[in-house]
Amino acid sequence: MRNFSILFASIILFFSVGIGEAGAETVTLITDIYIDTPTMSRGFTVTSDDANFRLGIFPEVLAEETQVVVKQFDKTLFAYPAEWAPISDVYEFDISNKQAFKNDKPLKIQITAEEKTTHLKKIFFWNGVAQEWIELPSEVSSEEIMKSVLHLPYAKMIVLKHEKILQIGDASWYKYKNCLCAASPDYPKGSMLRVKDLDTGKEVTVKVNDYGPDRSLFPLRVIDLDKVAFSELGKLSWGILKNISVTKIK
């Protein structure tokens, strides 16, 4: 039943992704590659010449040989959600033989933004039925690299940044309730956040129960962790943790 639900949802999404708002788009063909049986069994990563777009096809994702086409679109041809700005071109991949795609296993997407930014950034895909860009669950790998997974044989995607929300910066600590909790200036109380040290890979999940730190005083601080949460990532004696990412999980 679970596999059927995934299949049904993916079919709906497949038919919902269209070519976007632009009527006469300027398209650049990045790659047109044939995935044969030996390549299919060991997995393959389709990479653009500038390495800004990667499509990871894991072993057993494809059941049959197929052509995979990747195209690039000018980002200025599209409109985007309020307070979100494009920081990459628009990329489209298409697995030509749709019957070959086994959607119980995801494709891995990686897009490198054109600029480094500490603001919140996400990968979005275009939903042609709803006529809007839809946010994908995304993982921040660095100030410019974003990763996500997708259960679709076709999609048009872009990296957008939120102009008001900080995602990467310093984390401070304070003694409050001795819990896995935090103060945030970006997310409301009750939000669950994944806080990750991008240098060490350590992470902790916290619940927002307060507001702060004040960005007008501490413009580089992304979050203020309770001492218990801070201790999961480093020593209290350090005072500040650098290169910390914050991602809302619910």
**pLDDT tens-digit readout, 141-179:** 888 999 999 999 999 999 999 999 999 999 999 998 899
Q: How many other C-beta atoms lie within 10 A of the C-beta of residue 112?
A: 18
Same domain (yes/no): 74, 11 = yes
Same domain (yes/no): 26, 97 = yes
In the block, residue with structure tokens 């994702």: 61
Distance CA 120, CA 41 (A): 36
Where among 105, 134, 164 does a domain terminate?
Answer: 164
Angle at 45 between CA 40 and CA 50, to 5 degrees: 150
Pairing type for strands 168-174 and 221-226 reads parallel
Same domain (yes/no): 118, 35 = yes
- pLDDT tens for 207-223 read 999 999 999 999 999 99
- Residues 23-47 have a mean pLDDT of 86
Same domain (yes/no): 141, 188 = no
Same domain (yes/no): 127, 234 = no
Angular region, 133: left φ>0, alpha ψ -120 to 50, beta rest: beta
Same domain (yes/no): 66, 115 = yes
Distance CA 105, CA 161 (A): 28
Where among 164, 179, 203 does a domain terminate?
Answer: 164
Same domain (yes/no): 103, 187 = no
The CATH number linked to 206 is 2.40.40.10
Backbone angles phi, psi at 187, to 5 degrees: -120, 145
The CATH number linked to 83 is 2.60.220.30
* Residue numbers of the domain that contains 125: 2-164
pLDDT confidence bin for 48, thresholds 50/70/90:
confident
Give the pLDDT score at 21. 44
Whether 225 has a pLDDT exceeding 70, the answer reads yes
Same domain (yes/no): 27, 140 = yes
* Single-letter code of the amino acid located at 206: V
Same domain (yes/no): 197, 75 = no
- The number of distinct structural domains making up the chain is 2
Whether 10 has a pLDDT exceeding 90, the answer reads no
Where among 110, 140, 164 does a domain terminate?
Answer: 164
Same domain (yes/no): 99, 216 = no
Instruction: Specify whether the CB–CB gap between 203 and 245 falls below 8 A.
Output: no
Same domain (yes/no): 160, 171 = no
Give the pLDDT score at 25. 54
Whether 83 has a pLDDT exceeding 70, the answer reads yes
Distance CA 169, CA 189 (A): 20
Instruction: Specify whether the CB–CB gap between 200 and 137 falls below 8 A.
Output: no
CA distances from 197 to 48, 99, 235 (A): 29, 41, 13
Same domain (yes/no): 141, 41 = yes
Q: Select the more confidently predicted residue: 234 or 26.
A: 234
pLDDT confidence bin for 4, thresholds 50/70/90:
very low
In the block, residue with structure tokens 């992470």: 203
pLDDT confidence bin for 50, thresholds 50/70/90:
confident
In the block, residue with structure tokens 């890979």: 201
- Residues 105-126 have a mean pLDDT of 95
